[in-house]
Structure formats: structure tokens, C-alpha cells
Amino acid sequence: MIMQKITPHLWFDKEAKEAAEFYVSVFDNSKISSIATIRDTPSGDTELVAFQIMGYDFMAISAGPFFKINPSISFHVKCRTVGEVDQIWEKLSVGGTVLMELGEYPFSKRYGWIQDKFGVSWQVIHTEGEFEQRITPVLMFVGEVSGRAEEAVGFYASVFRDAKAEVLARYVEGEEPERAGTVKYAQFILYGQEFGAMDSAQKHDLSFNEAISFIVNCRDQAEIDYFWEKLSAVPEAEQCGWIKDRFGVSWQIIPANMGELLARNPEKTTPVMLKMKKIVIADLEKAGEG
């Protein structure tokens, strides 16, 4: 199976494994792929969990209460039947918070937006027509970046090769506080993976942060260097392969075999990695040999 080029990454205090187990129980075609521990990080020993939801790869980490997941990044769950929407909604509802009530909307016969008990937001939607990707990350541009969704999807399409972006719907007069012409929904495709974006001028007390980031699995150092240069816009956020772009979205620019590199000699490779800003593969390989 080919690794996803881009993998959503969820940051939890202590609940990464518990959350992954919950998602595997909620969604069909889901599984925990691996569990590993990285020792002696600034957060102490951290647990890394790789899992799939409906065949879509995720990563999660238990690394302390430093970042809180919020609905600025949510996940569309495309369902082929109304019954499937209801079934998933019922399971996600346990301990969760409804953001948009489950019901019929102009854009779908059955749709609801819910924040689950771990803080992760899901837009569960009955979708007609053909589709393969069941899970779609959706970025909501609010607060200081409200109104910049169209700029952002164009930027991402320019950075990632063989990408495309399209605004599918715009707000119109009468939808205040939304500003006419801003993005109601846009789609962008990066390495064959679908993403969504939307503007919101509502008074949301939330913004993009490190709690949800996107791992870019790079094939070599040249690709790491490329994405680092193109995406990193906040120097003080650069640490251990993590960066923030001009819109505040967090990315992890790492080698696709990062786990293998760290596992070769963890007592040596982990301290070397933790001192890095941009990941340098040759230095990790050298530490692994020593």
C-alpha cells in the first residue's frame, strides 16, 4: 500500500491511543497501524499512534496539554446513504458537542457537524455521485485569516506539484456576517488527496494551531528543503521538522522513513532530532550508525 503523501496529525495530552481506538470503533474500514514511544522529549515520553479511518491515514501523539484541538480544521466524512450518516453520528455524539444539527440542508439530504469527546470535529455528510476518498480535511479561515481561503488554496496549489484548486461556492449578499464573494466552500487537490477550505466571519474564538498539523512525507533531503523553503513563514515555530505557514497552518516536513531513522539507534537519534529545526537526513543516519 502506498503511503499518503500528506497525513493529518492530531496532538493530544494523553489520549492518542484512546482516541484512535474510539475512531476504529466508530468508522468501518479502520484500524490502528502502529504504536511507538519516543523517550526523553521536552514533553517526556511521548506515544505515537498511526491509524486509519475509512482507509485514510492519520497520526496522533500524546505529548502534553500544550495545544488544544478546535474546529478550525475538521474532517468531512462522506457517506453513501442517510442511514450511514445517522449510524456514525450516533456513535460520535457520545460525549460530543453539536456544532450544526443533524438534518437536511440545501447541499445535502443529511448532514451534521459535531465535535467529538476528544475535541476533533467531523462534518458527516450524505454525498451523491462517485467518490473514493471518504475523509476530507477541511480548513476554516476565521479571525485574522477570515476572507483568505481563496488565497490559501491558490498558494497550496502553487507549492505542491500537480495540484489544483477550485472555488465551488461563494457567499452572496444577505448571508451576513459573511462577506459576499468570500469562499463558502473550495476544494483543492494535493498529490491526489482532496482537501476543503471555507471562510467564516462569524465570531469564533479559535484559530489554526499545532494541535492539528499536516505531515508531508518527503522522499529525500531535496524535497524536505523545497517544502521547508516554500511553506515556513514563522521562524520561531520551526522545531523538529514542524513549521507554520503564512496562514497559521502547521506542517511537519519530514522524511517518509522518519520512524525507521529514529528506530536505528534511539538513544542517539532522538536527541539529535530534538535539536534540529529542519530535519537533516544525513545527520540522523550518522547518529543511527553511532
Residue predicted with more confidence, 263 or 49: 49
**Which pLDDT value is given to residue 119?**
97
Q: Are 91 and 144 found together in one domain? A: yes
Q: Are residues 251 and 227 in contact, defined by beta-carbon separation less than 8 angstroms?
A: yes
At 233, which CATH number? Answer: 3.10.180.10
**Which pLDDT value is given to residue 205?**
86
pLDDT bucket at 38, cuts 50 / 70 / 90: confident
At 189, which CATH number? Answer: 3.30.720.110
- Rounded to an integer, the average pLDDT of 162-189 is 95
Tell me which H or E stretch contains 103. strand 97-105
Residue-wise pLDDT for 204-232, tens only, equals 889 999 999 999 999 999 999 999 999 99
pLDDT bucket at 1, cuts 50 / 70 / 90: very low
pLDDT bucket at 149, cuts 50 / 70 / 90: very high
- Rounded to an integer, the average pLDDT of 84-109 is 96
> Per the domain annotation, does 168 fall within a domain?
yes
> Per the domain annotation, does 185 fall within a domain?
yes
Query: Is the model's pLDDT at 3 over the cut of 80?
Result: no
In angstroms, the CA 86 to CA 216 distance is: 33
Last residue of one domain, picked from the residues 145, 168, 199: 199
Q: Are 164 and 223 found together in one domain? A: no
> Per the domain annotation, does 5 fall within a domain?
no
Q: Are 249 and 165 found together in one domain? A: no
**Which pLDDT value is given to residue 40?**
73
Q: Are residues 33 and 53 in contact, defined by beta-carbon separation less than 8 angstroms?
A: no
**Which pLDDT value is given to residue 2?**
53
> Per the domain annotation, does 282 fall within a domain?
yes
Q: Are 78 and 179 found together in one domain? A: yes
Q: Are 155 and 98 found together in one domain? A: yes
Q: Are 188 and 270 found together in one domain? A: no
What percent of the chain clears pLDDT 70, i.e. is strictly above it? 99
Query: Is the model's pLDDT at 185 over the cut of 60?
Result: yes
- Rounded to an integer, the average pLDDT of 166-184 is 96
Q: What angle do CA 149, 23, 86 make, to 5 degrees?
A: 80
Q: Are residues 148 and 208 in contact, defined by beta-carbon separation less than 8 angstroms?
A: no
Residue among 170, 172, 186 at smallest CA distance from 136: 186
Q: Are 125 and 187 found together in one domain? A: yes
Neighbours of 236 (CB within 10 A): 6
In angstroms, the CA 126 to CA 235 distance is: 41
**Which domain covers residue 276, as residue numbers?**
219-290
Query: Is the model's pLDDT at 41 over the cut of 80?
Result: no
Cell of 289: 550508525
Q: Are 79 and 189 found together in one domain? A: yes
* Chain mean pLDDT for the chain: 95
DSSP 3-state percent helix, strand, coil across the chain (nearest 5)? 25, 40, 35
Region class of 29: left (phi > 0), else alpha (psi between -120 and 50), else beta? left
Q: Are 127 and 242 found together in one domain? A: no
Query: Is the model's pLDDT at 44 over the cut of 80?
Result: no
Number of structural domains found in the chain = 2
Q: Are 88 and 193 found together in one domain? A: yes
Residue predicted with more confidence, 71 or 204: 71
Last residue of one domain, picked from the residues 165, 199, 233: 199
Residue-wise pLDDT for 274-283, tens only, equals 999 999 999 9
Helix axes 266-275, 281-289, angle to 10 degrees: 150
